[in-house]
Amino acid sequence: MKVEQLTCAIGAEISGVNLGDASRDDSLFAEIKALLLKHKVLFLRDQDISRAEHVAFARRFGELEDHPVAGSDPEHPGLVRIYKDPDQPNDRYENAWHTDATWRDAPPMGCVLRCVECPPVGGDTMWANMALAYEKLPEDVKQRIEGLRARHSIEASFGAAMPVEKRLALKAMYPDAEHPVVRIHPETGEKVLFVNAFATHFTNFHTPEHVRYGQDYSMGGSDLLRYLVSQAYIPEYQVRWRWKKNSVAIWDNRSTQHYAVMDYPACVRKMERAGIIGDKTF
């Protein structure tokens, strides 16, 4: 196995490995998992593996989840097909900095995403290291957000374009989740800045320490949340990956955000993603 670090902050490309083999080899999988915890996102080329092998490799990390809106491949539960074509408009959810499914009480641990078909140019994906984003925050901001919690909503994101009855039914099925603004990574112990595009507001900001008058609650909390969400936009925390057929990205959803760049014209783009069920945040 060859490992090439891609930026100073996040990401490594590994070669000389087949993920189908890694799905059956304990020691090889353990090596890949250790690299994932270190680099937070791993990239591989030329992974001509079957859907069954894709799912089997991802399941080595844990059980797989279904997406309530995107759905799964009927023959491979947990494998979400993210397909674009000229007749399907962009959905506006991928091209925002986000951590997958933080609207769940237990957001995904991570994902394994494979490119089946992509445009010749464009459609890159970017990742940001949110442990580094927390580490680099000014000390006064770290003190200010200690103990803060935020609400995350599927209704305000995936549900926003739905008819009201369908949107409310989605919220009833997946009530807004609440997470610490700074979570602890359960395996590395790192502190991670854990707010993103799914976060709507702080749930415990309205205290005497923060609020003198009513307008402080709205302006102070909203401005602080916007500032924290914007930390993912800093290039020094990022890596950018150009897709080719049979390329794979594996990322730790607990310590990263990602952004799918929709700069390509109407064309076919087929990605398949296995999301791994995670634990509750703390």
Catalytic residue list: 98, 100, 258, 273
Asked whether the beta carbons of 222 and 238 are under 8 A apart, the reply is no
Q: How far apart are CA 118 and CA 241, in angstroms?
A: 13
- The DSSP secondary structure of 216-277, one letter per residue, reads HHHHHHHHHHHHHHGGGG-GGGEEEE---TT-EEEEETTSEEEEE---SPS--EEEEEEEEP
Please enumerate in sequence order all residues whose Cβ is within 8 A of that of 85, keeping only pairs 6 or more positions apart, or say none: 266, 267, 268, 269
Please enumerate in sequence order all residues whose Cβ is within 8 A of that of 53, keeping only pairs 6 or more positions apart, or say none: 19, 20, 23
Name the token pair of 123.
């459609």
Question: Among all chains, which residue has been given the structure tokens 């990401």?
Answer: 11
Asked whether the beta carbons of 137 and 261 are under 8 A apart, the reply is no
